[in-house]
Structure 1
Amino acid sequence: METKKTVRAAERALDILLCFTQEPELSLTEIARMTELNKSTVYRLLATLEEKGFLIRDGDTEKYRLGFRIWELSAHLSQSDDPATLFLPEMEKLRDTIEETVSLYIRDGFERIRVQAVESNQTIRRIAPIGARMPLAVGASSKVLTAFAEPSEQALILGDPAWPQSVDQGEYLQQLQVIKKEGYATSVEEREAGTSAVAVPIFNRYGKIIAALAVSGPVGRLTLERMWEVIPYVIEAANRMQKMLKK
């Protein structure tokens, strides 16, 4: 009898975690509705998941999002299941086609993280250390991750107290609208002098953005004209990656 209760509690906790495959941030009420559990039960399970680091609660919005313990687990996924590893052959193929550095980014709160990278074989190339964190206010990948985020997420990002005063939010929002319409973003020396980049979104089976696929290189070589040429290849690579996730 005790074993059955323990298994049921584990099932409920896992059901709660699976809710975050549909939305990045959820309130207690939303989770209770999605899991069809009463709020008192959900509250206790949320407290446990938060204590163990699987969830993080935002004190201002009272909403929950996945915690860093999830990323610790993902680091031990098999090669066939980890997107950063799963996408690596496609990233290498893209790098060999366009001869520039290819990176994969995810959003974590108010930052983006480079979780995979394949550097160009060119003598002068963009160095892309894995694990690097960057702000969401500038850069092609940042804009893609923000443009395709839910409106509530965008509001949180733009409401970040650390938002740089040098970046006009009105202009930034206009750029996001164009990016969402066109399906890609470009940047020239926005975050780093001498570097330009182009990025496109990667969506999961629910149509939610999970990552940004980016190509970057020196401005003298990755010009705007060159970016227009490589954009179709980047989009094709992202589409193939999305199909891999649906298998």
Structure 2
Amino acid sequence: MEDGKLTVRAVERALDILMCFTRSGSLSLTEIAGEAGLHKSTVHRLMTTLEDKGFVSRDASTEKYRLGIKIWELSAHLSNTDDPALLLLPTMEKLRDELEETVSLYVRDGRERLRIQAVQSNQAIRRVAPVGARLPLYVGASSKILVAFASEREQEYILSDPIWPDSVARSAFRDQLKSIRAAGYAISVEEREQGATSVAAPIFDLKGNLAAALSVSGPLARLPVEKLEGYAPLLMERARQMGLMIR
């Protein structure tokens, strides 16, 4: 029982195993056991079932596993109205064309943020934003948006992260969150990656819930703070428009 919810351990373990493939497309039994924190014998039993059901496939020559055809069959039935990454893509592309910089969409997953969609800049020098990347919540404009507009309870959960770095003072971070809520956007300058800057704004769904963070990012040489601040009004307007599409 977790947080008042009845869970089935075998199902949890099977899902943990499948999530290992978000970090690598091909994994051995030993690698999966290490990633999932499970005994190799347990992983072998679960992988046999997942393979029988078509959720994973095994390469006999390398003895490594990959996601199976059933995963793609399920994703094919995910409609645009269900998936913000697909639903908001046209507006993201429009924003990319307007600002000529990389546009990304993030959601919070526990104490991390997950990039669920990205539209790359057409500039020769650009910031490549791989979809599926997981990043910490203590640095970056999008991270600060996802924390600043979360509930107080969620903020405390995030700020109590045991791996929160000493270099990021919680008190100063809380002060930043207040300023971000008042401004409606956040700016990051080389916080996570040297030479990179970004500006982000919250996307709220039709019920007023925080759905995602929308960001524009690029090299510092092209996107100094003054320029990012100038982009903020358009970014917030696009985020508002996107929110009207999410139920």
Length-normalised TM-score, structure 2: 0.71
Aligned to 1:87: 88
Name the % identity.
Answer: 55
SS in 2 for 1:244: coil
Aligned to 1:47: 7
Q: State the one-letter code of the partner of 1:218.
A: P
Aligned to 2:68: none
Q: Quick one: distance in 1 between partners of 2:160 and 2:110?
A: 12
Tell me the alpha carbon deviations over residues 132-191 of structure 1, each in whole angstroms, 9 at most, x when there is no partner. Answer: 011001000000000011111111111110001111111000000010111100010000
Instruction: Check conservation: 2:81, 2:246, Cα contact below 8 A.
Output: no
Q: State the one-letter code of the partner of 2:236.
A: I
Aligned to 1:219: 220
Aligned to 1:69: none
Over 3 Å counting, the alpha-carbon distance change for 1:137 and 1:74 in structure 2 is farther
- More deviation in 197-206 or 143-152? 197-206
SS in 1 for 2:107: strand
Say if 2:174 is the partner of 1:173. yes
| 1:98 CA drift (Å) | 0.5
Instruction: Check conservation: 2:113, 2:136, Cα contact below 8 A.
Output: yes
SS in 2 for 1:180: helix
Tell me the alpha carbon deviations over residues 104-146 of structure 1, each in whole angstroms, 9 at most, x when there is no partner. Answer: 0011111101000001000011100000011001000000000
Q: Quick one: distance in 1 between partners of 2:246 and 2:227?
A: 29
Q: Quick one: distance in 1 between partners of 2:75 and 2:3?
A: 24
State the Cα RMSD in Å: 2.2
Q: Equivalences for 1:115-130 in 2 at 5 Å? A: 115-130=116-131
Q: Quick one: distance in 1 between partners of 2:159 and 2:209?
A: 20
Aligned to 1:229: 230
Q: Equivalences for 1:124-139 in 2 at 5 Å? A: 124-139=125-140
Over 3 Å counting, the alpha-carbon distance change for 1:197 and 1:205 in structure 2 is same
Kindly tell me the number of residue pairs found equivalent between the two proteins: 189
SS in 2 for 1:47: coil
| 1:75 CA drift (Å) | 7.5
Q: Quick one: distance in 1 between partners of 2:130 and 2:193?
A: 14
Q: Quick one: distance in 1 between partners of 2:75 and 2:171?
A: 37
Instruction: Check conservation: 1:74, 1:82, Cα contact below 8 A.
Output: no
Q: Equivalences for 1:235-246 in 2 at 5 Å? A: 235-246=236-247
Length-normalised TM-score, structure 1: 0.71
Q: State the one-letter code of the partner of 1:52.
A: V
The gaps in structure 2 that reach 5 residues or longer are 17-70
Over 3 Å counting, the alpha-carbon distance change for 1:239 and 1:111 in structure 2 is same
Over 3 Å counting, the alpha-carbon distance change for 1:233 and 1:115 in structure 2 is same
Structure 1 outlier segments of 4+, above 3 Å: 50-56, 72-76
Tell me the alpha carbon deviations over residues 212-234 of structure 1, each in whole angstroms, 9 at most, x when there is no partner. Answer: 00000000111111112211111
SS in 1 for 2:245: helix
Tell me the alpha carbon deviations over residues 51-85 of structure 1, each in whole angstroms, 9 at most, x when there is no partner. Answer: 534999xxxxxxxxxxxxxxx76784123431100
The gaps in structure 1 that reach 5 residues or longer are 1-25, 29-42, 57-71
